[in-house]
Structures are given as structure tokens and as C-alpha cells.
A and B are shown apart, each in its own frame.
Chain A
Amino acid sequence: MTILGEIALWIALPVALWGTVLSFVGGRSGRSELVLSGERTVYVLTLLILLASLGIIAAFVGNRYEYSYVANYSNRELDTYFKVAGLWAGQRGSLVFWTLLLSVFSTIAVFINRARNREFMPYVSGTLLGILAFLIVVLLFADVSPFERMGFTPENGRGLNPQLQNPWMTIHPPTLYLGFTAFAVPFAFAISALLSGRLDSRWIAITRRWILLSWFFLTIGIIFGMRWAYEELGWGGYWFWDPVENASLLPWLTATAFLHSIQIQENRGMLKVWNMALVVITFLLTLFATFLTRSGLIESVHSFAENLTIAYIFLGFMGALAAFSLLLIVHRLPLLRSENQIQSFLSRESAFLFNNLLLIGVTFAVAWGTLFPLITEGFFGETINVGPPFYNRVNIPIGLILLALMGIGPVIAWRRASPRNLRRNFVVPLLAGAVTLALLLLTGVRHTMALTTFAISAFVMAIVVREFWKGTKARARIAGEGPFNALRSLVRRNRRRWGGYVVHAGVVVVFTGLAGAAFDEIVEQELAPGEAMTIRSAFGNEYRLVYESLSHSRPRVAENVAENDWRWTALMTVYRNGERVDIVRPERRIYPVMEQQSTEVGIVTTAFEDLYVIPKEVDLNSGEDRVLFEAKALPLVPWIWCGGLVVAIGAIVGLWPAGTVPVRATVRRKARGPLPAGAVG
């Protein structure tokens, strides 16, 4: 199976090259048989890459340690579950996996458009095949083949990095990769629009769903990653401005900007060049994120120093794509002229534009911070890392303005807003914000940034809730429907708008959760069995943790083979305000094969806060089972995951197929036909 997979990868190379050339030639000359042949190569490639991927998985599951990739990321004792995930555990497999997902999305894009949007399709398949061909060339010739064999077969593999032995690891990279690769489709359509000169809003209309789909996967991928960091890295945080975290955030930021600015193009025919630039930049950033992950280019928790050649190859490819896209955009500038102008500073257009500028500002700040170590090394021969303080100082204020814009944008009028319009829509939400602020001040909260976040959150939430409330009420009255049906038909009539509101509500909840970090409490204490420690959370709850015992387990012991891990598990009973609420089992693991240690934390979640217990050191020598524990009371952390879920639901509402919406006759509506077209306006 593995050999067949390798052969499939070799067959894929000429197929991809052939398809790329054929699609472009077919599109240019209008020869339909070439176009069809080109599209068939897309389907065939998917099959071939799937075979290659299955080949790698088969090597993992079959413990084929003569393959250096398998030997480096697996060992006999590893759960099958993690062996399958070995496909994306390291750089080599990740590249194959990325290629697989891209080919699957390409197939879907080509298949659903087999009878539609035909004038775009040859260039779309050509572009997608070109990217696939590049990836296959890299896999085969850049010394990163996962099928590379060593001259001998080791007895056992080196094992999977302990930090990756976590259920989130099996789901976080695939979701993120789905987001990265799905964005290739809008990029291909944009290139196709530029090449064919059909530069009205149709390429956007065709790819709107793809963009949202990609954004959806990126969002949940990032949130899964935060959850993974929270559970697995064992320091009680979820975001460290790590280069690879940043790399996944960058395309998310530009994709978010793009989701907003395409609405201005659709409604007002403006920002055409800007949108083209954003789609190109976002796609380039997905490539950047892909190769940065595990490339070893920048030190990070994710990259386990591999060879650097690939980084330069990817950078070259990105540069070439950027130059090519730029040339195309410049060439088509006359067709990308704006149809309208912004009429007023106080309008939805300018709110969206401002949102775009801020998102790009954050993108630049994050990119600068991420690349700073490389830049300083290049110029001064010394690596200087910028830490979380830099990112927080720059990004928190911008983030708060963006948060406020999430409330302002949706209710401010298109074209120009009058002072009356502003009064009508903003007085109540501003009051909500002010009341929240006053209440928090009264309860003794003094942290400026947190107070600002909570007040703005209340303002935005008030706007979103009011929108839903008023819309439902109006719909109910007009159509004589009950509130539930009214809400449903309201959303069905404009999924993007109402889905967008749900996303905004979710982001507000996430921001509130993030601001909770201002009130973290930490207690560190060494305990012997039977002893206890207490910690008081910002919400005033007192937790008492009684350290009951320590157990040492050696799972899966096999003859003559080292275990995957040894575990020391502490048993702790948790009392909240004197009442027994839970038992946690924080754990320290040693991975003898990898010669590494890891921590499994204990978490007690309630609606408003998490209690987080880290076993920092286990005293193995004295025999007294003493453990140094760190307990953290983290307010509002559960809100981050909860808000993430709401964001995902909102995106699904926006993604849901529109279908046809039956127009119900109003109760009082007289028998009249639809409006004649001329009379509507």
C-alpha cells in the first residue's frame, strides 16, 4: 500500500503539469476538449493524492520504521488514533495532507461548476492545478518526501511529541488546513476573473460561500488551537502570540476584512482593486502559515526544527504568485474602476472601510512581530523576539475599536447617516454600555482595559439584541406570524445579515472572556498527601483543593520495549465555598522514548470561571509523594469557548443554502399581483 502510494505521487506529477498547461491553453483557445481533459486531471489528482495519503497512514499503522518520517513521528506503543494523525504530525506528512485537502476542494469546485460559470472554469482549474503541481514538485524533489527510506529498519520509532498526543491535536490541524485550502478556490476565481477580464461582481457572487466556508474553518481551527494550548501546554493560557499561532491568525484577519469589503463592492461597486488585493494577500498568507508551521524558520512550540530549504522554496513561490497577481491587477486596472464614491464619513461604507483599515493594521502588527526575529537576525546577526507585551499593547486598543465598530457598522445607514439616524440607533445601546460601566465601577472593578471591553461589549450586544427583537416584532406584525416563525422567516430572508449578527454576538462573548484574564488569581504551593491549598477567585468563590494521593501508572507495558509514557497522577478533591464539587486528576507524564515530560492539567469549569490545577513538580526521590501545585482561578475563560461556538453557529447560518423563500400573503393584503418591475423603484 505504501509503495503504491509513492507510485501514485509520482504519477500525480505529470498529470498535474499536463492539466495545468491544458486548462490554460484550453481557456485561451476555447478548445473544449482540452478544457474537459484538464478538468478530469483535477478528479484524477484527488484520487492519486488520496492513495499517497493512505500509503502514509498504512506505513504508520503498520509500524514501517524504515520510512524516516514514520520513525520520527511514531512508535509501536502509540495509540492507533494518533498513528493515523501522524499524517499531519510533521512537516512532510502535513504537506501531503494539505495537497490532499486542496485537491478535494478543487474537485468540488470543478464538479459543481461543470455546467455553470463556464467562462471562468478553465482558468480556475488551471490555477488550482498549478498550485497542486507546485506542491507535488516540492514533495518529490525538495527533500521532504514522506516516502523517504533509511538504509536500515530501526526496532522502534522515536515517538510522537508529547504535546501532540492530545485529542485536540487530531482535530485542530485538519480544521485549520481546511480553512487554508478552501481559500485557494476564491483565489483561483479571482485570478480567473483577472485573466478573462470578467471583472464585475460575479466572481465574488460565485465564491462568496467559499470565502465564508474558509473563514468558518479558520475560525474554529484557531479556537480548537486555543483550546489545545489551554489543555496541553499547561500554563493556564490559550494564546501566546507564538509565531505559528500568529501565522494562522494572519489569513483570518485578512479574510475577515475581505468578508466585509466585498459587501461594499456588491452594494456600491467600490473597492474592486482592494478586494482583489485582499484575496491575493489572504491566499499568500495561507501559504505562509502552511510552510511556517513546522518549518523551523522561526522558533515556536509547533516547529520541531526541520530543514529550511522548504521555507525558501515556499517564499519564492509566494513571491512569484504575488508578482504575477500584481501584474494582472495593474494590467486590468481600467476594468477595476470604482462605480461610486463614499458620500459621507458617517455611513456604513466608511464604517466598513475603517474596519478594513484596522484589520489590516492588526495584520501588519502581527506580521511584523512574527518576522521581527528574522529581520533582526538578517540585519544585526542577533535574534530578538518580541513577546506578548508588544502584541497586547498594539492589538488590544485596535481590537477594542474593532469591537465597537461591530456594533456601529450594522445599524448605521448606507450612503450617509443623519444625526437623527444616529440618535435613534445609538442612544439605547450607549446607555446599556454606560450602565454596565457604572455597575462594574460600583462593584469595585478598576482595570481600565477590562472596563472598556465590558462596556463596549454591552453596547454591541444591546445593538445585536435590539436588531433581532425589532426585526422579529416587525415581521410578526406584518405577516401575522408567531414570534418563533417570525424570527425564522426573518433569518431565512437574509441569512448573511442575520448570520453576521450572530457572529458578532459570539465575538462579543469571546472578547468578554478574553478580558477576564485581567482578573486571574494564582496560588503556588507544595503539598504532601492529605494537605490542602485554597484560592479565591475574582468572583469571590473560595476553592479548597485537598491533595489526596499520588498514583504511578505504567500503561501498556510490553516485553523489551519501552513504554510510551509513565504517569504520576495526583488525586485532588475540590471544594467550592465549602461544598464538594469535583475531583481532578492533574498528571505529570514522562515520555522515555522522546526523553520529554509533559503536564496534564486538572480543570473544573463553571459558568463564569475555570479552576485550573497544574502539577509543576513531582518529588520522585524522597518517597513522600510531595507535589508542587499551581492553582489558577481564571474568570470568564469558559465564555471564550462558548463565544466560539456562537461564532461557528452564526457562520453556519450564513453558509446555509438560501433555497427559495415563499412570500406569504399578508393577512390584510388585498388580492394583488406582484409589482410590475417598473413600478417598484
Chain B
Amino acid sequence: MTALIGGILLAAGVMLYVLEPVFSGRGAPVYAGEDDYDEGAARRRVALTALRDLEYDRMTGKLDGKDYELLKGELSRDALRQLGPGPEEGGSDPGVDRASRQLEEEIAQLRDALREGLQCARCEHVNRGGARFCGHCGKALGSPPDLAEGAAATAAAGGMPVDGPGR
């Protein structure tokens, strides 16, 4: 008997809770909200992640100078296409844009390291910050590797500068 009363009360409670929105007209949001997933921003992030990973691959010696420049040209072209309107105008998801900005910063940081001669042009050893000679083979650091080739690849990739500012 107790179970039966419990059951009736349970059924009544369930009905009240489930049907309340239908009677009161209160609803859940149906359309994409302000902070919702933004395809553009997500694609930007994917493009930037690919570029970031490329920098790491170069840094760790997985890619040599030539392959690096070739792929950088392609990836940069893709990234530029995705960046189209730019996060200031297009992106609506602050989270995704923050992620994009972080990636951009990281890419800049990696490229600084490459450009400022941390990585030896001859043996590709990654040196400690501030080093003037390669700790592995002794070559003087500072001259960026494959500069001309990189610029050529960039120009071919769409005429935009592929590198960070200050190059």
C-alpha cells in the first residue's frame, strides 16, 4: 500500500515537473547562443595548431629546412584563408579566440627562437637562449637558415609575409 501511494506521488511529481514548461511557456534556448561554437574560430584554431606543430617539428629536427619551408608555405596559405575576417571582427566565441591568440603568441615565440639563432643552421641543435656559438658543432649562430628559400616559398604561397613581424 505504501509503495502504491509512493508510486502515485512519484507519477504526479514527474508529470508536474515535465509538463510545467508546456503550461507556463518557459522554454530552453533553441538557437545558437552568443558564446556558441563558431566554425570560423575553430578552423582558425586548427590552422594555427598545424602551424604551431610545424614549428615544433622544425625545432625538434623532424623536418629539415627544405621540407619546413615547403609545408610552411602551404599551411600559411590555409591559415590566411581561415583567418580571413580576423578574430577581431569574425570570432564570436571568446574561448576559441583566446586559444587562437595563445597559439599565435606561441608561434611567434617559436619563430623568434628559430630566427634569433637558437637553432644551429648546420646541425640543427637547439641551443640555450643567449648562445653565440652552437653547443654541438661550434658554428657561429645568428644567421637564419634558408632565408632566401623561405622568402621564395612565401612569395609563391600568396605574396603575404609568412613570418612574424620584425623579419
Contacts and interface: CB of A to CB of B under 8 A. Distances in A.
A32 B30 contact: yes
A497 B62 CA distance: 15
Given A202-B42, A477-B129, A674-B101, A118 B30 contact: yes
A279 interface: no
Contact of A3 (B3, B102, B110): B3
Interface string B60-81: 1111101100010011111110
B18 A116 contact: no
Interface string B110-149: 1011001010000000111110000000000000000000
Interface in A469-499: 470-471, 473-474, 477-480, 493-494, 497
A26 B27 CA distance: 10
Interface in A456-478: 467, 470-471, 473-474, 477-478
Contact of B39 (A41, A118, A202): A202
B113 to A, nearest CB: 5
A411 interface: yes
A11 B118 contact: no
A446 interface: no
Nearest to B102: A663
Decide if the interface of chain B is mainly helix, strand, loop or mixed.
helix
Interface stretch (A209-217, A429-437, A550-558, A664-672): A664-672
Given A31-B27, A478-B126, A414 B66 contact: no
Query: A40, A41, A122 — which one has the most chain B CB atoms within 10 A of its CB?
Result: A40
Contacts of B24: 33
A414 B71 contact: yes
Nearest to B97: A677
Interface residues of A, number: 79
Interface string B16-38: 01111110111111111101110
Contact of B36 (A118, A415, A672): A118
A424 B116 CA distance: 24
Contacts of B56: 471, 474
B50 to A, nearest CB: 6
B112 A4 contact: no
A681 B80 contact: yes
A171 B36 CA distance: 38
Contacts of B161: 679
B46 interface: yes
B109 A669 contact: yes
A11 B14 contact: yes
Given A32-B30, A415-B71, A425 B130 contact: no
Query: A121, A421, A660, A661 — which one has the most chain B CB atoms within 10 A of its CB?
Result: A421
A36 interface: yes
Interface in B77-121: 77-80, 83, 86-88, 98-99, 101-102, 104-110, 112-113, 116, 118
Contact of A421 (B67, B78, B83, B116): B67
Contacts of A114: 28
Contact of B42 (A4, A205, A474): A205
Given A122-B30, A663-B102, A680 B18 contact: no
Contacts of B29: 32, 115, 118
B28 A39 contact: yes
A27 B31 CA distance: 10
Contacts of A421: 62-64, 67
A35 interface: yes
Contacts of A669: 109, 112
A15 interface: yes
B152 interface: no
B51 A116 contact: no
A573 B4 CA distance: 60
A316 interface: no
A116 B93 CA distance: 11
Contact of B18 (A7, A41, A119, A201): A41
15 contacts: A11-B14, A33-B24, A116-B36, A116-B37, A201-B42, A413-B63, A414-B50, A421-B63, A421-B64, A471-B60, A473-B126, A477-B126, A494-B49, A668-B112, A676-B165
Interface of B: 3-4, 6-7, 10-11, 14, 17-22, 24-33, 35-37, 39, 42, 46-51, 53, 56-57, 59-64, 66-67, 71, 74-80, 83, 86-88, 98-99, 101-102, 104-110, 112-113, 116, 118, 126-130, 160-166
Closest 7 pairs between A and B when the two form their complex, measured CB to CB:
A32-B27, A7-B7, A470-B60, A3-B3, A681-B80, A681-B79, A36-B28
